[in-house]
Structure 1
Amino acid sequence: MYTEDDIRRLRWQSRRGMLELDVLFVPFVEEAFADLEEADQDRFVKLLDEEDQDLFVWLMEREVPADPDIQRIVRIILERVQPS
């Protein structure tokens, strides 16, 4: 279970310095992270350990992550911002 302090730290970690990532990650942590299942929260934390260049190509849908856990959380983030 993630505490409010944990979520504040994740919000800080979500600021990557690359605008394309920041506009996806920061609102995601602020608005959606707390409502995720714990396994998906863990996946998001794992995602933040990845290199910015990899995150960029995955979130811009230029490549698909090899790791199924990363694939799942990338899809969750993208579904949140893409029109249905």
Structure 2
Amino acid sequence: MANLDSKAKLRWACRRGMLELDVLFMPFVEDAYDALSEKDKGIFQRLLEGDDPDLFAWFMGHEKSDDEELDYMVQLILNRVKV
């Protein structure tokens, strides 16, 4: 995925085929993305390259990504949405 240098492009990339992913990604982009380090922004953008079934399994806790950076980002997003 090309560097998503604009917020509009990033929002578009966050639109997924699964509502469960949309409700995680969209608030994260709006509320937390700008505060991430450049490295973490890159990891988040890489996460968005994933297939919806894999992302769903990771976020629902059914599986864990073999990529430590992607797993870190999944946990960061999950911790952010917990009440």
Stretches of structure 1 that go unaligned for 5 or more consecutive residues are none
Cα deviation, residue 7, structure 1: 1.8
Cα deviation, residue 37, structure 1: 1.0
Q: 1:29-81 deviations in whole A, cap 9, x for unaligned? A: 11110011111110000000000000000011111100011011101100001
Match of 2:68 in 1: 68
Root mean square deviation of aligned Cα: 1.5
> What are the residue-to-residue correspondences of 1:3-82 with 2, within 5 Å?
6-82=6-82
DSSP 3-state at the match of 1:42: helix
Give TM-score scaled by structure 1 length: 0.89
Task: Number of aligned residue pairs: give it.
Answer: 81
Give TM-score scaled by structure 2 length: 0.90
The 2-side partners of 1:54 and 1:26 are apart by: 18
AA matched with 1:7: K
Task: Report which structure shows greater RCO (CA 8 Å, sep ≥6).
Answer: 2
The 2-side partners of 1:38 and 1:29 are apart by: 14
Stretches of structure 2 that go unaligned for 5 or more consecutive residues are none
Runs of 4+ in 1 over 2 A off after TM superposition: none
